Amino acid sequence: MAIHKTKAIVLETKDYRETSYLLKLFTFDFGKINAQAKGARRKIGKFGTNFLLMSYNEIVFYENNVSDLHIISQADMLQHFGNIGGCLEKFTYAAYFLELVNTVMLVGEKNKEIFVLLLQFLNFLDAGCGLEQIRYIFEIKFLKISGFKPYFDCCVSCGENIAEKSKFSYVFGGLLCKNCFGKDFAAQHIMEGTIASVNYIEQMDLSKFNNFKITLSIRKQLEQILGSFIGFYLGRKFKSLSFLSEIRGSYV
Ligand SMILES: [Zn+2]
């Protein structure tokens, strides 16, 4: 049985039997893994962490050769993002980011860039940075890194450059030029500012995160298009996202 040490973010935690946890962890070196923390609920101090949702830990685990459920032998908490839990909006964003990573990433699929992105955005939330823009910036970066990015470079159907009005097609997963509007009658008008913002954010260095501002109308369109696109492609509604629109609906 091989033994490994890595950094891990807790994506999901469930009580298991009398004393243990079943965990889904997103690790730096091994991608998403399933793991069991035996006795973690019974013996206080057995592990240097209580495996809270979204916490960032250093773990040592035994690799299971028979199933994909590994056994954690040691763990220490590195960060628990205490400011997120105290704010409903921050917590809901964090839950959505975790849910997105948990849904898209397959067990054993390694992606260090996604790990770094998730950790960075948990830190932004913990510090209370840019709550009005955090969701769509995470979505655009995440879609790009994970290879689900909508096609915004030119017309997804004919390849022509987008010179004037265009529409966004969920079915085609990108922009349609004027000549191709007839290919998808459900396609939705999209503002030039929205297209420019997506292209900018894709390349944007995250050190500029705090200073990035866009108008309310573009922000609303970005959230609507990206939210629907993600729901359409993953074939599911995100519980955290529905809750988010409810709590934000009151003041946006
Ligand atoms: Zn076209």
pLDDT of residue 252: 39
Ordered domains of the chain (ranges, CATH)? 3-79 (2.40.50.140), 87-249 (1.20.1440.120)
Report how far ligand 1's centroid is from the alpha carbon of 161 (Å).
8
CA dist., res. 141 & res. 152, Å (int) = 14
pLDDT of residue 251: 43
Report how far ligand 1's centroid is from the alpha carbon of 179 (Å).
5
Report how far ligand 1's centroid is from the alpha carbon of 169 (Å).
11
Q: Tell me the pairing of strands 69-79 and 166-169.
A: unpaired
- Edge-first strand order for the sheet with 174-176 is 174-176, 166-169, 188-190
Residue closest to 137 by CA, chosen among 51, 205, 82? 205
Report how far ligand 1's centroid is from the alpha carbon of 230 (Å).
23
Q: Which amino acid is at 240?
A: S
Task: Count other C-beta atoms under 10 Å from residue 113's C-beta.
Answer: 12
CA dist., res. 201 & res. 144, Å (int) = 10
Report how far ligand 1's centroid is from the alpha carbon of 220 (Å).
25
Per-residue pLDDT of the chain (252 residues; tens, 9 = 90+): 799 999 999 999 999 888 889 999 999 999 999 999 988 887 667 888 889 999 999 999 999 888 899 999 999 999 999 999 889 899 999 999 999 999 999 999 999 999 999 999 999 999 988 888 999 999 999 999 998 888 888 999 999 998 888 999 999 999 999 999 999 999 999 999 999 999 999 999 999 888 888 899 999 999 899 988 998 888 877 777 777 777 766 443
Report how far ligand 1's centroid is from the alpha carbon of 196 (Å).
18
Report how far ligand 1's centroid is from the alpha carbon of 199 (Å).
19
